[in-house]
Amino acid sequence: MGLPPWETSDSQLFAMITGANSGLGYSIAARMIDEFITGPSTPANKHLVLILCTRSPLKTRFTISRLRGHLRIAAESSAHAKKLRAKAKAEGREYRWETAVQRVHFLGVEVDLCDLKSVYRLADQLVNGTVGSPDATTMDGAKLPHGSPGTQSYSEGVQQDRWALSQKPGSTGLLRAWGWGLSGIRLPRLDVIILSAGIGGWTGLSWYEAVREVLFNPVEATTWPTYKLANVGAVVRSQSKFKASSSGEEARQPLLSEKVESTEPPLGEVFCANVFGHYVLVHELMPLLSRPSSPTSESSGKIIWMSSVEAIADHFSINDIQGLKSLHPYEDTKRLMDYISLTADLPSTKRAVASYFDPSKTVTGRKAAKISQDDAEDLPVVKPKIYLTHPGIFASEILPLPAILVAIYKLVFLFVRWIGSPWHPIDPYKAAVAPTWLALTDNEILEDMEDHGNKKAKWGSATNTSGEERVMQTEVEGWGWHGNVDDSGEKRIGRRRNAIDATKESREDFEVMGGKCWKQLEDLRTTWEEVLGVEE
């Protein structure tokens, strides 16, 4: 596989996705590939560089193997490929699917968002080190034998595993793809980071409440459920002693009441996995996110927070920003994302967010400056933009349910979509439409749509009654659809029952709360820098 022209990196799109190994994260990666190679506005010489972030090397290898297979199918035998092949034949030339495949590249990294040291290590690797892509894997994620197709040691004489990724045209592998691992890649910047990793923190359902609500009010019950049971007070293990298992999985987290006495401040499990781990990671990646694609460009990276349609204000408390006492810690973290995303560019929060967006305030940036002071000074710095999205309601593994109940839930989702709910894409690939659109749309277009930060919106993945997906603005309690209270009552589709139109007072309260959230998060970040001694 030919390397991208790194020396002219303005022709690249560098996109990082957390939680890329399954569910929504994987679907975003797959959809980005499809829309990148089929998009009529994508220049033919542009390359997509996907940095897939998982929790273990095994998951990284298997994820990239699957995506390579998806890429080859999209380029060789999809409906779009067939159209291009027919067009080429009519013009008397040959359609080469390899050309499209060679414009997409995969790099793999690992992080555990509940291990802050792991977060800092990853950021340092991305900013000051190099990254690569592992060899192809078998169906179970294991390494292929030496010389197998899809590995750097490829040899024609080696028998191909049925799930191998082959270089040969006409390969019969079930996951056909092209190319092998890259290594020693130094990232020039990050154009997009999609923060899709997260956990629900639920232990099960209150079945009586669930059945009653679904029977009497299925749309509300499946869009804003109140019957999920959370692991209240769950905290991460001691950060100074944290060590994930070799498989990347964690044991049960202790409750706050079970936590042994420690000098470390408590760190909520759901809060850390959904918000704070990402928050620290993004800050430490500012040296990459703040770099424009060219010296003349006025825009830099995009930070895409993955909120939820369930992010209501009922349970959120600024006095319990980590949700340690909340019965709904997951919903609280999503509401927190709404606050910080929609207020990040407002004049009232400028002082609170200034240090967060400053690359010179990062550990990675200071280290880079020490290594090469001249280069650090010569690089242009442009503040990246934050965008807010949500995937609607889809079938996810985030809630632990038996397979039979998942099947029943999908049927209920189909019914509520049929009767008019726009928030039930059901399929993760359809749920990825909004974050993919944000990732691939030009910065200038998005900024015009949001009036350069004055009309920030929450962009949701929606469908019509027949399941055709689309991107739709979503009402945010207290903020409205885009912070403009004059027309907050015009759009009614997809509203929660008894929703109240945003007012001037609620809009002001939302802005004030956003500033408080930013202040607390920045204080917590600096506290943990001291606790962990990350400068050393």
Candidates 517, 68, 32, 57; CA nearest to 302 is: 32
Instruction: Report how far residue 316's alpha carbon sits from residue 338's, in angstroms, rounded to the nearest whole number.
Output: 11
Catalytic residue among 293, 307, 326, 488: 307
* Contact between residue 28 and residue 435 where contact means Cβ atoms under 8 Å apart: yes
- Mean pLDDT of the 237-253 span: 58
pLDDT band at 476 (very low <50, low <70, confident <90, very high): very high
User: Domain segments of the chain: what residues?
Assistant: 6-125+132-195
* CA nearest to 382, candidates 207, 191, 185: 191
Burial 183-211 (b: 16+ CB within 10 A, else e): eebebbbbbbbbbbbbbbbbeebeeeebe
Please report the pLDDT score of residue 514 as a whole number. 96
9 is catalytic: no
Q: 215: burial class by Cβ within 10 Å (0-12, 13-18, 19+)?
A: exposed
Collapsed DSSP state (helix, strand, coil) of residue 13 = strand
Dihedral-angle region of residue 407 (phi above 0 means left; psi in -120 to 50 means alpha; beta otherwise): alpha
Instruction: Look at residue 371 in the predicted model and tell me its pLDDT.
Output: 67
What percent of the chain has a predicted confidence (pLDDT) above 90?
Answer: 52
405: pLDDT strictly greater than 60:
yes
pLDDT range class, residue 254, cuts 50, 70, 90:
low
Residue 338 has what DSSP assignment? H
Phi and psi (nearest 5°) for 64?
-65, -35
Per-residue confidence (pLDDT) for residue 374, from 0 to 100: 47
Residue environment code for 131-157, b if the CB has 16+ CB neighbours within 10 A, otherwise e: bebbbbbbeebeebeeebbbbeebeee
CA gap 485, 502 in Å, rounded: 6
307 given a catalytic annotation: yes
What's the pLDDT tens digit per position in 292-311? 988 888 889 999 999 999 99
Averaged over 395-419, what is the pLDDT? 83
pLDDT digits (tens, 9 = 90+) for 51-74: 999 999 888 888 888 888 888 888
Cα–Cα dist 88/94, whole Å = 6
Give the Cα separation of 114 and 198 in Å (integer): 10
Check residue 174 and give its pLDDT. 46
pLDDT tops 60 at residue 489: no
Question: Catalytic: which of 26, 120, 279, 330?
Answer: 330
Residue tagged 């500033």 (tokens): 515
pLDDT at 182 over 80: no
Which one of the listed residues 59, 228, 302, 334 is annotated catalytic?
A: 334
Distance in angstroms (rounded) separating the CA atoms of residues 47 and 97: 15
- Closest by CA to 30, choosing from 42, 46, 15, is 15
The verdict on whether 330 is a catalytic residue reads yes
Gyration radius of the chain's alpha carbons: 23
